[in-house]
Structures are given as structure tokens and as C-alpha cells.
Structure 1
Amino acid sequence: MRVRNKPWASDFLKSHPDIAIQDPAAHKGKWKELFGNDHPIHIEVGSGKGRFMAGMAKQNPDTNYIAIELFQSVIIDVLQKVLDEELPNLKILNVNAEDLRDYFDYGEIDRVYLNFSDPWPKNRHEKRRLTFKTFLSIYEDILIKGGEVHFKTDNQGLFEYSLQSFSAYGMLLKFVSLDLHNSSYEGNVMTEYEEKFSKLGQRIYRSEAKFQTE
């Protein structure tokens, strides 16, 4: 993803430390204390501009959400949405997904969302895909027992790869749709990319994969 640099992004994030958490490692094992309630916590890895997470936070006030995005110049859009829409159940982290174990304790998270992740189509980049086995191991550690990964993409190749990766890891496929917008699935919240691709007539793929408890 090509991102236009915004030099002021860092200062904007630092000016709202109650939303853009500056030292996430300090909250490891204590995220529910930060939110001030005992609600389940869902995270999205690669939140982009945050339309999905803002929509989910608004739709489900009894769930806490954490948007995770590597690029500061992108995640500031999530921060702006939280400010504009007053979403107390949405926090943001400007961190790398490879380091999630540093920020979340074992079993601290209830669900992981992966939406329109970079497909990294070349074989030599397989390890960078967010559904590669090393990332699945990270999600398994921070999720509750039997926790789920919900995945959406417009990329058929990445979807097929991800289904194979989930299965090879021993996960259970609870839901698979090869054409989400023409399915009976209810409650879908679209991302920016999803709206763009669906308007072009592209199919949206979705799956829900669950880690086995034994």
C-alpha cells in the first residue's frame, strides 16, 4: 500500500493518548481496566482508515474494539472517526502485527478481524501474509480458548490460500462465503476497500475460522 506521508500525524496521535495508546505494552493483561468494563475485546489487524472498526463500535456498544495499523498517516483517520463519532469503545494502536504478543496477554482477546489484507502474491513473500502460520500462532496465543479469526478479502488467491492455511493449522471453518454480498449473512459492516471493490462488481469472500480447544 502506498501511503502519503503526513508529518503532523505523530503529533496528532500523541495529542489524544486516551484513544491512540502510546505505550501498549504497559496495558498488557489490563486492557479491560483501560476500557473500564468487562466487555469482550475484538481487534482488527490492519485497520486502514477505520471505517469497519468505527462501524462495529457504533453497532455493538457492549464490545470493546482495538484498531491496529502500522502506518501513522493512515491510522490518524481512525482517530478522527473516534473523535467525530464519540466512540468510547474504540482504541487504536500504531504497532506492527508481528509484536502483538508484546501488547496482549494470553487469552486476553475475544476475536481477531482481518479485512482486505495485503495479498503478498509472490511466493517469497508468503511469510508476510497475515494468514500465514506464524501469524496464526500469534492470534492463537492472545485469543481466548476457541477464539475466532474473521477474514474478508476481494482476492480469490489469498482467500484460497487462507482457507488452506487455517485448515493446515488445525482450525475449524465455521463459515465460508464465496460471494458475501449475495449471501444470507447479516450484520456485515463494510470497509473502504470493500465498498470500492463491490461497486466494481467484484465478489467479496468471507470466512470465520475457530481455533480448536484441544
Structure 2
Amino acid sequence: MLLPVLFLFGVITTMRTTRSRLNKGFSLEDRLAGATQSYEPNPSGWRGRWSQWAPHEGSRADSYQHVVLDLGCGKGEYTVECAAARPDTLFVGIDVDGVCVVRCAERAIAQGVTNAVFVFNEEDRDLSDFFAEGELSAVLLNFPTPFPKKKKAPLRLTYLDRLMAYRPLLAKGAPLRLRTDSMPMHEFSLTQLELAGYELLWNTDDVRSLFPEEPWSGYEQKLVAQGASVYGFAAVAGPEPEAVQQTAPLSLVSYLPDDLENMAYVPHGMQGCVRNMRGRNRNRRARGLPEWKKPIV
């Protein structure tokens, strides 16, 4: 086993945007410029040599043993805590939200964690622009935005095309790991793993029971307090599929359970949809009609 901290590598209501909650005097550019100890403005320049990363185009006397990507790193609590536990590993957090990125970098600086670096990928550039083949020891997807609607399925971090793009960047045997509060997102992601030729290492509806010592993020704490379970899996790239074709239903509505009335927790982003579906079925029952069945689309 390469790493004793097993969880890192997978062995064994409408919310306001971050930017909408800022003070009027907030300058993203100024804050990023002041956080370059843990913010990397030129990620492409480190392609193939992240194990030597140091701030301000510096270099390390010794290489990091592993490079781990936390894709969609949010506010960075999880990334920074993982980095603090593994000083031999560089954690690269990437997010499309610049406010999240600056807060991540400032968090790492404030906590004195030097092996966590953050990248602002505003244009959702291909990860091969930033990382060379086989450079990543793991890819972590922690509570990624589920984008429930069919038309936005390609934005999901576990969409088939994205899973195929991760394959060459992962070192041999390096895991891709998902954690989510969304059972539909979890089920959809399993279909995508199969289509992209990944092989499961583990799969669970209670990640916490497998890895009780895993760091918490504020977001996860909030969801669990609302009754969420944490679904997840770890998988490695198997033989590349001969044909890559999307055949799975793309709307997350298709992955909801049939019994919506007894669904104790509704994942974020699907509350309105589930509320409408429950109301429709109640109306149909009151009229003596059979229940409406969710579409498979």
C-alpha cells in the first residue's frame, strides 16, 4: 500500500452564489495576487512537473512523492486538511469559482500548509493543459455540482467524456474517487464508470462508515446535519473500451427512487423537482388515477 491514509486514495432550496455574498470592496484580482504562496496563476507551466511545485516559479530540493487533484475543491477545507495529513503529497485544488479559489489559498496560508496549491479554471479548460500523462496519483471529486437537468449532464464531473479525459492523466492503478449526497448522481456516475471502462475498488452508500477519520468540509457537515448520507466509490481505469458511446439516461430524475413519499432526504438541486412530483402523485391519487411514473430520459 502506497499511502497509510487510505481514504485519500480509495483503497479499501436555491443557494446564492459565492460571488453574490461578497462585500462591495472585494477585488478578486487583488486577493489572488496576495495569495500566490498557495495560488498558482500559471498551471500550464507546471505540466509534467507538479511534483517539483513551489510558489513564485521556485523549485523544491526534493520531489513530492504523489500529486493528487481535488477537482471542484470548493472552499478548500477538505483539501487543506488532507494536505496537512500528507506532507509527502502535493494536493492541487481546481475550481471554476475564483472566490472559492482565493479562499482556499488563503486558508492554506493561514494554516501553514505548504503542500496545497489552488488553480482558478474559469474557462473549464481541459485538464490535459495542466497535467501530463500519468502525473496524477488520484483524482478526488468531493460533492461536485450534480446539474440534474438532462441538457446540463455534460457539465457533471463524472460525465462519460470527462471520465475518458481523466484516464491518461492517472498513473497506473491511481483511483478516481467520488463523494456525494446525491443518490441519483451516484447512480448516474456508476453508469458512466462502466461506459468509460473503469473498475470499482469499492462502492458504498455510507462513506463515513468506511473512512471515519476522513476530514470534514463545512459543506458536508451541513448536508449530514440535514439528514444526508454520503454516497461514494473509488475506481481505477481498466482496459479502454473499444467504443465510447453515451447510452445512459441523462436526467437525474431517471435515477430517483420510485417511492418518493418515503424519500427521507432530497439532495440539493432536486428539491423543487421532487416536490412537484410528489404533488402530482397526490393529485392523481385523490382523483383515483394511477401514479405518474418518472421518465427515463
TM-score (norm 1): 0.93
- Tell me the C-alpha RMSD between the 2 structures: 1.7
Matched, 1:168 2:168: no
For 2:191, give the aligned amino acid: Q
Count, aligned residues: 213
Cα shift at 1:170: 1.3
CA contact (8 A) 2:37 2:109 kept: no
Question: Residue 157 of structure 1 corresponds to which residue in structure 2?
Answer: 184
CA contact (8 A) 2:74 2:100 kept: yes
Question: After superposition, where does 1:41-190 map in structure 2 within 5 Å?
Answer: 41-95=67-121, 96-181=123-208, 183-190=209-216
CA contact (8 A) 1:98 1:135 kept: no
Mapped to 1, the partners of 2:117 and 2:100 lie a distance apart of: 15
For 1:81, give the aligned amino acid: R
Matched, 1:30 2:57: no
Mapped to 2, the partners of 1:79 and 1:38 lie a distance apart of: 19
Change (3 A) 1:39 1:97: farther
Question: Residue 32 of structure 2 corresponds to which residue in structure 1?
Answer: 13
Once the two structures are overlaid, the 10-residue window that deviates more, 43-52 or 67-76, is 67-76
Cα shift at 1:187: 3.3
TM-score (norm 2): 0.68
Cα shift at 1:18: 3.5
Cα shift at 1:98: 3.9
Once the two structures are overlaid, the 10-residue window that deviates more, 10-19 or 200-209, is 10-19
Percentage of pairs with the same residue: 25
Q: Which 5+ residue runs of structure 1 have no aligned equivalent? A: none
Report the structure number with the largest CA radius of gyration.
Answer: 2
Q: Which 5+ residue runs of structure 2 have no aligned equivalent? A: 1-14, 55-59, 241-297
Q: Secondary structure at the match of 1:144?
A: coil
For 2:188, give the aligned amino acid: Y
CA contact (8 A) 1:44 1:68 kept: yes
Cα shift at 1:190: 1.9
Mapped to 2, the partners of 1:192 and 1:111 lie a distance apart of: 22
From 229, 238, 241, the equivalent of 1:203 is 229
Change (3 A) 1:108 1:184: closer
Mapped to 2, the partners of 1:203 and 1:33 lie a distance apart of: 38
CA contact (8 A) 1:46 1:115 kept: yes
Cα shift at 1:191: 2.2
More helix by share: 1
Change (3 A) 1:169 1:132: same
Mapped to 2, the partners of 1:90 and 1:184 lie a distance apart of: 25
Mapped to 2, the partners of 1:113 and 1:184 lie a distance apart of: 16
CA contact (8 A) 2:35 2:106 kept: no
Cα shift at 1:82: 0.8
Cα shift at 1:8: 1.4
Q: Secondary structure at the match of 2:235?
A: strand
